[in-house]
Structure 1
Amino acid sequence: MLFPLGGPVPENDIIGRDSFIDTLQMRLAEGHSVMLAGPRRIGKTSLAQEVLRRLKKQGLYVASVDFFRLSSKRNIAESIINSCLENRTGIRRTLDAVWDQAKLLAGSAKIAVKMKDLEFNIGLPRKEMDDETLMEYAFSLPELLAEKDKKRMVVLFDEFQDAGQITGSDIYKKMRSFFQLQRNVSYLFLGSKEGMMQSLFGGKKQAFYRFATVLPIPQIRESDWELYISRKFRGKNIETSSEAVKEIISLAGGHPQDTMLICSEAYYTLLEVEETKLSLDIVRIAFDRAMATLMPVFDEMLDELSKKHLVREVLHRLAIGDIIYKEKNHPYDVKRAIDQLTLTAVIEKEGRGKYRFVEPMLKEYIVRNYQDG
C-alpha cells in the first residue's frame, strides 16, 4: 500500500516526528513513565510501536497491550502475561503452550526448554487460577522478569482509559499498588479520550496522579508533509506540483490519517484515469472519494454525540462559524455541549471563545450534510 491506512504505519511512513520519538525512547529507557493522549487516528499507536521497536533493538524488553481489544479481567491478565513472556520465548501466545502440554511437547525442543527454565526461575501461572489472582500475577510479572534477566522492561498500554470500563475503576488502584514499587519497568500510557486521560493522571484523587510525565503530541509540519507526499508519488513515477500537494494538506488540515486517505484516493484515481500527474482536479476528486469513505465513521460519531442535549446544534454552529450562544438556549446547556465536544476530542480550544475541529474533514462533512436543530 503506497499510503498506509487503518493501523500503525511502517517506520518509513512516520513523518516529522523523529525528535519526539527520540525523546520518548530516552525517557522510557531511563526509567520514566509517559502518558500521551489524543483522538483516534492521529498516529499515537504508530509512534508508540516505533518507540518499542527502537527500544527492543537497544536491548530492552518490551510488551504491548491494547485495552480496546479486551473485554474482561482474564483477557487483560493473559494479554499482559503473553506479551511479557514473548521476550523470553519468542512466541506470541506463550500461555497456550504452558497450559497445553500436548502442544508444548509437539513444539520445538528449544521452546520446551525455555518453558522449563521460566517455570524454574519465576514460576508460571496455572490455568485454574481465579481471575483476580491471575491479574495480580500479570501486574507483578514485568518487574519479576526484568529483575531476573537484568533487563529494563517497557510496557505499552493502549486505550488505557478503557481498562476501568472493562473491570471497574478499582483496577487503577490495583495497578498503581504494583507499578509504584517496580524499579526496572517503565510504562507508556496511550488514550484517545483526552479528558478521561487528563483526569486519570492529573486528578489529585486519582490512583495514577503524577505517576507519568504527560507529553503533548507535536503537530506534523506542512513542510514535512510536502516532502513526504512528493517523495511517495515520485516513487511511482507520478509528477506532483506544490499547489496540488498543498491542497491535499489544506483539505485534510494536516490530520495524519485523513491526509493519507486523500493521498491514497488520489493515487488510485490516477491509476484509473491512466494519468501520471497530480493535478488540483485529481485532488478534489480524491477528496470527495475520501469523504464518502469516511461517511459511516462520521455518521456514527454524530449519532453518538447527538444523544447529548444541544451537541449536534452547537457542532453545526461551530462548523459554519455561527454564534455558539443563542437566546433560545440556556448558556449552561451550551457550555455542557461544548464541554462534551472537548472531552470527546471532537474540538479543542484555541483561545477565549474560539475552538477548532480536531479533524477538519468532519467540519466540512457537517457543513455539507447537517443543519442546526
Structure 2
Amino acid sequence: MEKVNSNPFKFGNPVEGDYYLARPELHAAVKQFLQNRIHVVLMGPRRFGKTSFVLSLLRDFEKEGYTCLLVDIFNITSHRDFLRQLLRAIRLKEGLKGKLRGWLKKLATCVPKVTADLDTFSGSSSFGLTLGKLGEEDVKEAIQDLLEVLSSLGKKVVVAVDEFQKVSEIDDQGWLEATLRTHLQRLKNVSFLLTGSRKDLILEMLNNPSRPLYRSCQTIEFPAFGPEFVDWIVGRFKTIGTSCKSEAIKHLLKLVQNIPNYAQKVCFHLVAQGCACVTGKEVEEVLENVVRQNAYTYQTLISSLTLAQKRALRLAAYEKGALFNKEVLQKYEITSAPALSSSIKALKAKGILDEEGGRGKVLFDDPLFAYWLRLCFSP
C-alpha cells in the first residue's frame, strides 16, 4: 500500500480513488442488469455510500463507450425543479451541450421564452431557458421532450437518478411517475439506475399495482459493508503510522449505524487531532465532539417538533425495541400506543425516522442526532 501523505480519510462528498472502498460483487450485479437494459432501484439509507458507488459504476460504463448522466433530485418540489435538474445534468457533460442546444432550439419553436445561443467570443453555449416564466403545461411538455432526447445522447446510455422517490412527493396525481414509466419502456438504448433512501415510499411506488412504476425495475437493497470495511479503515490508519484496534472501529460502526460517511468523518478527526493509537475511548471522545458541533442544528430541529414528537424521539434514541410496551410509554410520558404511532408516522414523514424491519423498531435517518439526544436527555 502506498504512503498517504495527507489525511487518509474524506467525508461530506462522494469519495473516489484511494478514499473509496469498492464493492465488486454489487458492482458486477448492477452492471449486468443495466447492460441488459433491466432498470435497477438501489435502496439504502442516506450517507450510506450510494452516490460514491454510482459514480464509480458510471466511470466504468464510460470507459466502455456509454454516455452516462447523474441527475440529483433530492431537493425538487415541482416539475419545474425536476426539469431544471435534468437540464443541469446534461449541461455538466461537455460533449452533450450541442445536443442540448439543438433541443432548446426545437423547444423555442413552441415556447417563445426559450432561446439557445452560442457565445461568439468564448464558444460556449448560452442557454436562455427561463423556467420561472414557463407555464405548467409547457414545463410538462419540456420534461417529456427532454426525456426523449436522452436516447439521442449516445448509442448506449445510462441515466442515474439520485433520491428518485422524490417524484412521488409531487402532488400531480402520478403524472411524473407515469411519464418516467413511459420512457423507461420506450427508450430502447437507455438504462435507468434509480437510487433512494426512503424504503417505504420506494416499495409503495414499485409494489402497488395501482402505481405507474409497478414492477418496472429490479430492486436491490444497498448492503452495509462487512468486515472488509474494518480492515480497510485499519489499513488507512497504518499508511500514516497510526495504530488502530479493529475492536475500536467495530464499536464506531455500531455507534454510527454502519454509515461510511460518518465513520470516515470520525476517523478524519482522529487523524487531525494527532491520535497515535485509536481505541474505543478515543473514538467515543471524538464522536462526542463531532456531535456537539452539530448542536445548533439539532436544537433548531427539536424546536420545530410537537411535545409528543419530542418524547417519541427520546424514546427512539434510547430504546432498541418494544417501543410500544406499556412500561416504556409511561417512562417517556407518552399517553398511548396510538399516540406514539402517530408521532412516529409524522417523524417519518419529516425524514427524521425510518423503518427497521417492521412495527416496534425504528432507525434515525441521522444516527448522530440520536447520539446527541442520548448525550443531552435522560429517559
Per the normalisation by structure 2, the TM-score is 0.78
Q: Which of these residues, 217, 221, 228, is aligned with residue 224 of structure 1?
A: 228
Unaligned runs of 5+ in 2: 1-6, 106-114
Answer yes or no: is the 8 Å Cα contact 1:33–1:211 preserved in 2. Answer: yes
Amino acid at match of 1:134: A
Q: Which of these residues, 304, 315, 318, is aligned with residue 316 of structure 2?
A: 318
Amino acid at match of 2:199: E
Q: Count matched residues.
A: 348
Tell me whether 1:140 sits opposite 2:160 in the alignment: no
Answer yes or no: is the 8 Å Cα contact 2:243–2:276 preserved in 1. Answer: yes
- Give CA-to-partner distance per residue, 1:278-337, whole Å, 9 cap, x none: 344432321222222343454455455x34x73332332233338534366233222333
Distance 1:232 1:153, change over 3 A: same
In the alignment, what sits opposite 2:184? 179
What secondary structure is seen at the aligned counterpart in 2 of 1:180? helix
User: By how many angstroms is 1:133 displaced?
Assistant: 2.9
Answer yes or no: is the 8 Å Cα contact 2:181–2:212 preserved in 1. Answer: yes
- Give CA-to-partner distance per residue, 1:20-52, whole Å, 9 cap, x none: 122112211210111122332111211211111
Cα distance in 2 for partners of 1:196, 1:234 equals 42
What secondary structure is seen at the aligned counterpart in 2 of 1:65? strand
Cα distance in 1 for partners of 2:33, 2:216 equals 14
In the alignment, what sits opposite 2:108? none
In the alignment, what sits opposite 1:106? 121
Q: Which has the higher helix share?
A: 1
- Give CA-to-partner distance per residue, 1:78-107, whole Å, 9 cap, x none: 54345347667266995499755341x334
Answer yes or no: is the 8 Å Cα contact 2:352–2:366 preserved in 1. Answer: no
Tell me whether 1:285 sits opposite 2:285 in the alignment: yes
Tell me whether 1:162 sits opposite 2:179 in the alignment: no
Tell me whether 1:346 sits opposite 2:353 in the alignment: yes
Tell me whether 1:213 sits opposite 2:218 in the alignment: yes
Q: Which of these residues, 361, 374, 377, is aligned with residue 367 of structure 1?
A: 374
Amino acid at match of 1:283: V
Cα distance in 1 for partners of 2:372, 2:128 equals 51
User: By how many angstroms is 1:16 displaced?
Assistant: 5.8
Q: Which of these residues, 46, 52, 55, is aligned with residue 46 of structure 1?
A: 52
In the alignment, what sits opposite 1:330? 336
Cα distance in 1 for partners of 2:302, 2:198 equals 16
Cα distance in 2 for partners of 1:303, 1:192 equals 25
Amino acid at match of 2:278: L
Q: Which of these residues, 254, 261, 267, is aligned with residue 263 of structure 1?
A: 267
User: By how many angstroms is 1:142 displaced?
Assistant: 1.2
Answer yes or no: is the 8 Å Cα contact 1:2–1:232 preserved in 2. Answer: yes
Cα distance in 2 for partners of 1:92, 1:329 equals 62
What secondary structure is seen at the aligned counterpart in 2 of 1:246? helix
Amino acid at match of 1:170: W
In the alignment, what sits opposite 1:121? none
In the alignment, what sits opposite 2:202? 197
Q: Which one is further off, 355-364 or 211-220?
A: 355-364
Amino acid at match of 1:220: F
User: By how many angstroms is 1:8 displaced?
Assistant: 1.0
Amino acid at match of 1:337: S
In the alignment, what sits opposite 1:244? 248
Amino acid at match of 2:54: A
Cα distance in 1 for partners of 2:244, 2:30 equals 34
What secondary structure is seen at the aligned counterpart in 2 of 1:177? helix
